[in-house]
Amino acid sequence: MDHSHHSSMATDPHMHHGHEGHDMPMPGMPMCSMNMIFNWQIENTCVVFESWHIHTWVGMLISCVAIFAIAAGYEYLRVWTNSLDRDVALADVKRQVDLGSNTNNATGTTENDTLLTQSPELSSLRKRRQILRSVMYAILMGISFWLMLVFMTYNGYLMIATILGAGVGHYAFGQGKLPAARSISCH
């Protein structure tokens, strides 16, 4: 069987070998290590992104402080969003009470019922509040999932930074404004 065509394939510049887009590490270049078990590794630990590559104790300390701050900030945003939700709910209740005080007993409708429910200003305000609430929800979900990915590095230092940041943030910002139990626990 003639295999002479194989040698020409290796030198053909138009021949594709299936390794496009794969960055091969250069010898001596540090790589991110991916541990699937609990570890205390410092060198070559990457935090979610390859660009957040930890090489030293100082890098790990800075990373832990940053993750602590992000987890605490997440708790602050939860409190702020919860307060926003409460304000929106109170405004809706107040509007309903105000509408109820103008009710015509014979018909059960209010004088201003059609004006208030169809007011462009009120509709615009409600839309803006709903957009803000939805944006904040998306931001909270993004941070929560990101913290989950940090936790999934299984690095003890990063896990402790996440837990302590969440706990300190809940203590500092919660002050009875948030329940201790959560319906979605991504961190």
- Strand, coil or helix: 103: strand
Going from N- to C-terminal start, the domains of the chain cover: 45-102+110-174
Look at residue 96 in the predicted model and tell me its pLDDT. Answer: 74
Q: Strand pairing of 53-54 and 45-46? A: antiparallel
Look at residue 176 in the predicted model and tell me its pLDDT. Answer: 77
Q: Which two tokens stand for residue 16?
A: 């594709």
Query: Which positions of the chain have pLDDT values less than 70?
Result: 1-28, 99-119, 180-187
Which among 140, 155, 185 is positioned nearest to 59, based on CA atoms?
155
149-185 burial, b at 16+ Cβ within 10 Å, e below that, comes to ebbebebebbbebbeebbeebbeebbeeebeeeeeee
Asked if 84 and 133 count as a contact pair (C-beta separation under 8 A), the reply is: yes
Look at residue 56 in the predicted model and tell me its pLDDT. Answer: 96
Look at residue 30 in the predicted model and tell me its pLDDT. Answer: 80
Torsion of CA 30, 34, 37, 42, to 10 degrees: 30
d(CA 52, CA 74): 20
Look at residue 124 in the predicted model and tell me its pLDDT. Answer: 83
Look at residue 1 in the predicted model and tell me its pLDDT. Answer: 56
d(CA 137, CA 159): 24
Look at residue 103 in the predicted model and tell me its pLDDT. Answer: 54
d(CA 3, CA 185): 60
Phi-psi label, residue 104: left if phi above 0, alpha if psi -120 to 50, beta otherwise: beta
